[in-house]
Amino acid sequence: MNNTRTYLIEALIGLGATLIIVTTLGLYMLNESNRINEAQIQVLSAQLDESITLYAENCSVCHGLKGEGIGATPALNNPALVTMAFDDLYKTISRGRFDTAMPAWSKEDGGPLSDYQIEEMIALIQYGDWNVTGERVVNLGFAPLVPFTTDPDPVLLAEVANLPDGLTLQTAIQIFASSCVACHGADGLGSGIAPALNDPLVRAKTTDELTRTITFGNAGTLMAGWNNTLTTDEINAMVTLVQRWDEVPAGIIPAPDIPIPTTAESIALGSNLYTANCSRCHGPEGQGTPRAPSLNVKGLLTSTSDQALQQIITSGVPGTAMPTWGDRMTDAEIQAIVGFIRQWEATAPEVATPVRTGGGGPPWLRSTTATQSTTGSTGQGDVSPALQPIAQQARPLQTLDWRILVLAGAGLSFAFTLIATGFSSLRKKE
């Protein structure tokens, strides 16, 4: 009687274990095709996410904020490219287009991108969202300067004619203002995307070296070769300018005056950074304090371009309490602050009414306020300390993995085996 009952219990336990294992496996198999789909979607969206950042860093300068193309550089948001054969796109991006400004991007051809990253770029061109891409380009501070050109200051340009070989320098300055300033910056002082050319280290380079770089470019960087666009004489003039830039008056090549584009995210970031770093001196609404002048005032905002504001904030005002922010913040962060300050222009008063504020210690030693935005953009490469609370956002949780299910199944059957063994030893004792 006792024996029969124990056998029955053992049989039931065995049956239960089998049922659970079968159900687990069944459920897992039912879910499998979904899981494969989801995995593919996840891979694609991870690829797209990375490709957007690669686009911002490498391609936006020529192909535009949202792949719309700039000047003679073709659009990438072009429906014809969506249906273009994968291999043709792969060839174009990896090898570049010979005799055009389109550089080779694959490591094999001296470029910076791996095969996988080139596939990511193709995923962006064929499946990507160009509006999201445009926002990322702005948030990362890579918004291209459109138009590419600026006009040299006429008075200073006339002065250059008095220098030895002044006509050559004048030619070069005009070419620089039309073809190089967007990357190499006002007065050749460099920008976020290209080094300064008005620099002792570059002046020290040999004529051959400089001529080679300007003629053929540097493969795998944004520096394209100019041998198709400029004559040999013009290239020689550019080399002369680079070597004699210390003789050229400052301010001769102004920055192009283009509003810095903003997004909701960049304004929110700018607002947080302003509150954390600037409001103690300039007042919470930019109205000024006894420590620092008002920023929220018509005169300043209408007469100062975004580029000039960015320059002031980056370099500070030497000999005053206005700190240098360029070594504490990225270009993107400073541009976000400029975008935030620019919003005041529409309602700025003619005359400022400064407030009195308290507080001790330099503001950059204080931790950022609790109002940090939760809208961080993903895929930010190097993030400065001011941005870290945003960048440290949790990654989305992984969905339940098949390995967990198999482990759970194995664990359950092991438990059942243990219980069954316990029963059979009980039975033996009886």
Give the interface with ligand HEC as residue ranges (CB under 6 A). Answer: 58-59, 61-63, 73-74, 76, 78, 81, 89, 92-93, 97, 100-103, 105, 121, 175, 179-180, 182-184, 194-195, 197, 202, 205, 210, 213-214, 218, 221-224, 226, 238, 242, 277-278, 280-282, 291-293, 295, 300, 309, 312-313, 317, 320-323, 325, 337, 363
Supply the minimum distance, in Å, between the C-beta of residue 328 and ligand HEC: 8
β-pair partners for 73: 70
Nearer to ligand HEC, 157 or 175 (CB): 175
- Contact, 92 vs 102, CB < 8 A? yes
Nearest to 216 by CA among 98, 313, 357: 98
Nearer to ligand HEC, 114 or 399 (CB): 114
Supply the minimum distance, in Å, between the C-beta of residue 78 and ligand HEC: 6
Nearest to 172 by CA among 155, 183, 188, 191: 188
Q: Other CB atoms closer than 10 Å to residue 140's CB: what's the count?
A: 23
Nearer to ligand HEC, 157 or 202 (CB): 202
Backbone φ and ψ for 217, nearest 5 degrees, come out as 75, 180
- Contact, 406 vs 31, CB < 8 A? no
209: alpha, beta or left, given left = phi > 0 and alpha = psi -120 to 50? alpha
Supply the minimum distance, in Å, between the C-beta of residue 98 and ligand HEC: 9
- Contact, 324 vs 334, CB < 8 A? no
Supply the minimum distance, in Å, between the C-beta of residue 111 and ligand HEC: 8
Nearer to ligand HEC, 110 or 166 (CB): 110
Nearer to ligand HEC, 39 or 44 (CB): 44
Supply the minimum distance, in Å, between the C-beta of residue 287 and ligand HEC: 13
Helix (H, G, I), strand (E, B) or coil at 70: strand
Nearer to ligand HEC, 17 or 175 (CB): 175
- Contact, 316 vs 322, CB < 8 A? yes
Supply the minimum distance, in Å, between the C-beta of residue 41 and ligand HEC: 23
The per-residue DSSP string of 335-360 comes to: HHHHHHHHTTGGG--SS---------
Q: Counting Cβ atoms within 10 Å, is residue 35 exposed (0-12), middle (13-18) or buried (19+)? A: middle
Nearer to ligand HEC, 107 or 291 (CB): 291
Structure token digits, residue 109: 């051809």
Tokens 């719309």, residue?
A: 68
Supply the minimum distance, in Å, between the C-beta of residue 132 and ligand HEC: 16
